Amino acid sequence: MTNFFTSSIGKKILMAGLGLFLIVFLLVHLGINLLLIIFESRDPFNIAAHFMGTNVLIKIFELVLFGGFLLHITYGLIVQMQNWIARPVSYAKTHPSQTSFFSKYMIHTAVIIGIFLVIHLFDFYLQAKIFGGVPEVVIDGKTYHDLGLLVFEKFKIGWVVIFYIFTFIFLGFHLLHGFQSAFQTFGLDHRTLTPVIKASGVIYSVVVVAGFILIPLVIYFGN
């Protein structure tokens, strides 16, 4: 077992596992964000965000989540470096062979997601937890951070909306390959199941990205 996660296959298995975990988390995150445009009031979102920020179980989950991101990113970078080193002299002429298109650009889509994650952390997580300066709101006699207001303010800025949409499209590209790739990495190969997984990957990527993109659009063009 000691050499398992240092081997090429072991590293990919770890990345794939963490990737799938992040895929589940993204769904939860989308659910909470959608509260902002489903309801007239920002209260449900703020209560949900508060719950996510304070509940003990979720606190533990938060650690796992940060760890998950960090490990996926670290292993992604290590794997990518080793893959580059494996071909020191590149070809003079290349030909686009029939391959999973986005598989060739995982590191490129990843870098864009990475930049977004850093900004995202500063904007919401650190501002709420450390820097302070988040507006407050009273719901049923209890004070909450009005993170919803923060989102509304941000999504009234044109370039923020554009950058946000741009990032999520690239996240979609990452997942168009990543979702099904993770199952192949786990060794799952089945006559009927594999096509279902591939289709689910496409549906997930399109629906989740569309869901996330919808929010800034509704806010920006809403009143």
Partner 1 sequence: MDFTLKIWRQKNSGEKGKFVNYKVGNVSSDSSFLEMLDVLNEELILKNEEPVAFDHDCREGICGCCSLYINGRPHGPDELITVCQLHMRKFKDGDSIVIEPWRARPFPVIKDLIVDRTAFDKILMEGGFVSVNTGNAPDAHAVPVPKQNADLAFDAAACIGCGACVAACKNASAMLFVSAKVSQFALLPQGRVEAKERVRAMVAKMDELGFGSCSNTGACEAECPKGISLTNIARINREFIKAGSA
For partner 1, the closer of residues 142 and 191 by Cβ is: 191
Nearest approach in angstroms of CB 68 to partner 1 is: 20
Nearest approach in angstroms of CB 122 to ligand HEM is: 15
Instruction: For residues 115 and 131, give the distance between their C-alpha atoms in angstroms, rounded to a whole number.
Output: 20
Distance (Å) of CA 104 to CA 43, 75, 83, 100, 123: 43, 17, 12, 8, 31
Residue 123: which residues within 8 A CB-CB, separation 6 or more?
Answer: 150, 154
Where does this chain touch ligand HEM (CB under 6 A) — which range of 108-116, 136-144, 150-158, 187-195?
A: 108-116
19 binding ligand HEM? (CB under 6 A): yes
* DSSP codes of every residue in 117-167: HHHHIIIIIIIIIII----EEEETTEEEE-HHHHHHHHTTSHHHHHHHHHH
99 binding partner 1? (CB under 8 A): yes
With both helix axes pointing from N to C terminus, report the angle between 158-185 and 193-221 in degrees, rounded to the nearest 10: 170
Instruction: Report the sign of the C-alpha dihedral through residues 144, 150, 155, 156, in that order.
Output: positive
Nearest approach in angstroms of CB 64 to partner 1 is: 21
Give the pair of three-digit tokens for residue 66: 């940060």
For partner 1, the closer of residues 75 and 155 by Cβ is: 75
8 binding ligand HEM? (CB under 6 A): no
How many residues touch partner 1 under the rule CB under 8 A: the total is 40
For ligand HEM, the closer of residues 22 and 52 by Cβ is: 22
Binding site for ligand HEM (CB under 6 A): 12, 15-16, 19-20, 22-23, 26, 72-73, 76, 79-80, 106-107, 110, 113-114, 117, 174, 178-179, 181-182, 185
Binding site for partner 1 (CB under 8 A): 1, 3-4, 7-13, 79, 82-83, 85-95, 97-100, 103-104, 106, 177, 180-181, 184-189
